[in-house]
Structure 1
Amino acid sequence: MTEEEKIFAGKLFDARTQELRDIKHKAHLLCQKFNGMDEYDPARLPLVREFIGKIGRKYYFQGPIQFNYGVHTFIGENFFSNFNLTVMDDARIYIGDNVMFGPNVSLMATDHPLIAQERTQMRYPDGHVSMSEFAKEIHIGSNVWLAANVVVLGGVTIGEGAVVGAGSVVTRDIPAGYLAAGVPCRPLRQITEADSKMHLLAE
């Protein structure tokens, strides 16, 4: 079993192996290139397609961005991300259509054992000591908005149409159509027509 296969099987894996470093290196280089380019440069946004698993035809990343693997992330149509997106996509991350991220959103589909020796002293047959990790997928439904400074942890599903308030840390599933917030993030109430802001449209 390769180290990448261990990730997808939910097993402990060694992120320091050359196999995984090579996968990540491409995303890291292209993110670095993206972040150094002018936002009006027509060559900037297409760079994302060179390292992402899949993305829709229409999307926008304000930048800077940082993806760990890139190829483990799958994004639908009409995606928008504000400044400073961090995606630790060790496990796969699935994002639906019409999803919006505020500034400083972090998707953290990776984890370490709590016991120190298991984090730093897992010996492999060749004698090296691992920085061991394990990872769980993140699923974000269509029409979701994650406000500024939201952190989503591995193993979480955020249902379609949900809104997660600024500064929240999402450690458990959020049902579809709910406003949720807090540390840890909890569903507060359903979003209804009473939340409409259509009256603010200029005539």
Structure 2
Amino acid sequence: MTEKEKMLAGLPYQAWDDELVILRENAKLLCHQFNHLAPNETAKRHTILSNLLNIKGQFHIEANFFCDYGENIYVGDNFYSNHNLVILDVCQVSFGNNVMLGPNVMIATASHPLDPVARRATEFGKPISIGNDVWIGGNVSVLAGVSIGDNSVIGAGSVVTKDITGNGVYAGNPCKFIKSI
């Protein structure tokens, strides 16, 4: 099993594997190119992101945008992200349709062993799934392995550590149910 196959399967893997380094460097080069385009260069911005991510429909991502690989990110129709989106996509990240992200959102499938010796050599990840009609406020962190259900609103500054069932407003650190929609 290659390190990439281990990574995508959520198993411990070595992040400095040559294949993974090349894939990350390519993604970071495309992010760099995207982030340095003028705001009115919409066609060029869309072309770069369409080559980097798996996009199904209409989308708009404001600069700055950063990701690890890009190829593990799946974006549904009518997607919007405000400035400074960071996606650590060592495992799959999927967004449904009609998803909006506020500024400074961090979505991290990546994690590390608690044991310090193991942490020196490997890392691992867990996929993240975000449903349809989800609004994630500014400065939200979504951690590895989390699913956010349809029709959810995640309040600004929240840290999502566990699954969100949907059809409600959730907020806090850790993020918890506030009220139904």
> Does TM, normalized by the shorter one, top 0.5?
yes
Q: Deviations over 1:176-203 (max 9, x none)?
A: 1110000000111111xxxxxxxxxxxx
Q: One-letter code of the match for 2:29?
A: L
Counterparts of residues 192-203 of structure 1 (less than 5 Å): none
Give TM-score, length-normalised by structure 1.
0.87
Q: Deviations over 1:134-173 (max 9, x none)?
A: 1000000010000000000011000001000000000001
What's 2:178 paired with? 188
Q: Please state how far the C-alpha of 1:57 moved relative to its aligned partner.
A: 2.5
Distance (Å, rounded) in 1 between the aligned partners of 2:140 and 2:72: 20
Q: One-letter code of the match for 1:15?
A: A
SS at match of 2:110: coil
Distance (Å, rounded) in 1 between the aligned partners of 2:51 and 2:58: 15
What's 2:144 paired with? 154
Distance (Å, rounded) in 1 between the aligned partners of 2:163 and 2:112: 20
What's 2:83 paired with? 83
What's 1:43 paired with? 44
What's 2:32 paired with? 32
Q: One-letter code of the match for 1:149?
A: N
Check whether the contact 2:11–2:124 (CA below 8 A) recurs between aligned residues. Answer: yes
What's 1:145 paired with? 135
Counterparts of residues 109-148 of structure 1 (less than 5 Å): 109-120=109-120, 130=121, 132-148=122-138
Check whether the contact 1:175–1:187 (CA below 8 A) recurs between aligned residues. Answer: no
Q: Please state how far the C-alpha of 1:24 moved relative to its aligned partner.
A: 1.2
Q: Please state how far the C-alpha of 1:9 moved relative to its aligned partner.
A: 2.1
Give % identity: 39
Structure 1 residues without counterparts, runs of 5 or longer: 121-129, 192-203
Give the number of aligned pairs.
Answer: 180
SS at match of 1:44: helix
SS at match of 2:74: strand
Distance (Å, rounded) in 2 between the aligned partners of 1:182 and 1:71: 31
Query: Which structure is larger by alpha-carbon Rg, 1 or 2?
Result: 1
Q: One-letter code of the match for 1:159?
A: G
Distance (Å, rounded) in 1 between the aligned partners of 2:48 and 2:132: 24
What's 1:164 paired with? 154
CA RMSD, Structure 1 to Structure 2 (Å): 0.8
Distance (Å, rounded) in 1 between the aligned partners of 2:92 and 2:9: 11
